[in-house]
């Protein structure tokens, strides 16, 4: 994705600066200094605006969404309570038996408890709604 953006920006920059081949093949004339001044390219501040624009695009496409996801994950981990059914990043499903700032104890089967880091809880497990067979008919 970055390569595509870079190529697009190079094409735009070359279009704004003009093609250098046309200036090299033009025959000198009495108005040559005026023609050279017109083909000198954009002012120096254009490159600074270009770089600032690149950083803005990177921020809105990459950094900001990542920060938003991190904030949502942090809020989800803070909202976990005893008795909630969760799934870990490893795919283990269990009920929270005990939880503190760092660890969570999950019950995954009868008399089977495991300790997992709180950060490795992927999220609450949604219980699928099963409609009775009589309502389906």
Going from the first residue of the chain to its last (137 residues), give the mean pLDDT of each consecutive group of 10, the final group possibly shorter: 72 66 49 55 81 93 94 93 93 94 94 94 78 53
Distance, CA of 94 to CA of 42 (rounded, Å)? 63
Query: In this structure, are 44 and 65 located in the same domain?
Result: yes
- In a domain? residue 35: yes
Query: In this structure, are 48 and 97 located in the same domain?
Result: no
- Confidence at residue 47, expressed as pLDDT on a 0 to 100 scale: 86
CA 119 from centre of chain? 20
- Confidence at residue 5, expressed as pLDDT on a 0 to 100 scale: 67
Distance, CA of 116 to CA of 100 (rounded, Å)? 11
- Confidence at residue 52, expressed as pLDDT on a 0 to 100 scale: 93
Query: In this structure, are 89 and 74 located in the same domain?
Result: no
Task: Work out how many domains the chain is built from and give that number.
Answer: 2
Instruction: Return the closest-CA partner of residue 58 out of 118, 11, 9.
Output: 9
Query: In this structure, are 62 and 13 located in the same domain?
Result: yes
Kindly report whether the global pTM for this prediction surpasses the value 0.85: no
Q: Domain residues for 107? A: 85-124
């Amino acid at each position: 994705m970055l390569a595509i953006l870079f190529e697009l920006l190079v094409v735009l920059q070359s279009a704004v600066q003009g093609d250098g081949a046309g200036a090299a093949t033009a025959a000198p004339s009495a108005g040559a200094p005026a023609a050279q001044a017109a083909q000198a390219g954009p002012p120096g501040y254009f490159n600074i605006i270009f770089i600032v624009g690149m950083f803005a695009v990177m921020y809105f496409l990459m950094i900001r969404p990542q920060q938003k996801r991190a904030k949502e994950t942090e809020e989800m981990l803070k909202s976990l309570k005893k008795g909630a059914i969760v799934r870990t990043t490893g795919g283990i499903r269990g009920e929270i038996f005990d939880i503190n700032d760092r660890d969570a104890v999950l019950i995954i089967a009868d008399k089977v408890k495991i300790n997992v880091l709180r950060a490795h809880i992927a999220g609450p497990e949604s219980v699928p709604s099963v409609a009775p067979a009589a309502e389906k008919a």
